[in-house]
Amino acid sequence: MGIRAKEEALETKFLFYWSLMEDVYQYSQATAVPSIRKSTLEVAPFPLPPLNEQKRIAEKVERFLNKIEEAKWLIEEAKETFELRRAAILNIDATCNSK
């Protein structure tokens, strides 16, 4: 399914993030292959703030998504560091107990 803005008063990224948050599949009439009729989507409620506000919202969502990705990376790095330290501690403990 493709959704495209026909008007210049709609920021494409705002529409994209709205579609992710709105769960547009709730409007689907099909079961095997999700599809949404144009007539159904045309009557779906859609918030339309001014263009500048749409851009601001889209930029803020992107900043939050970037922070989430950075946090995931830091968590993975911390896990790796923890495992290395744990292995080093266990190795030191095993060395001390064998003497």
Query: Measured in Å, how far apart are the chain's first and last C-alpha atoms?
Result: 68
Task: Tell me the pLDDT tens digit for each residue of 24-33.
Answer: 667 777 667 7
Rounded distance between C-alpha atoms, residue 77 and residue 71, angstroms: 10
Tokens, residue 81? 């560091």
| The pLDDT value given to residue 58 | 93
| The pLDDT value given to residue 38 | 78
Count the alpha carbons within 13 Å of 93 in the hemisphere toward its beta carbon. 6
Residues in the chain, pLDDT under 70: 1-3, 5-7, 24-25, 30-31, 34, 93-99
Cβ atoms 57, 14 nearer than 8 A: yes
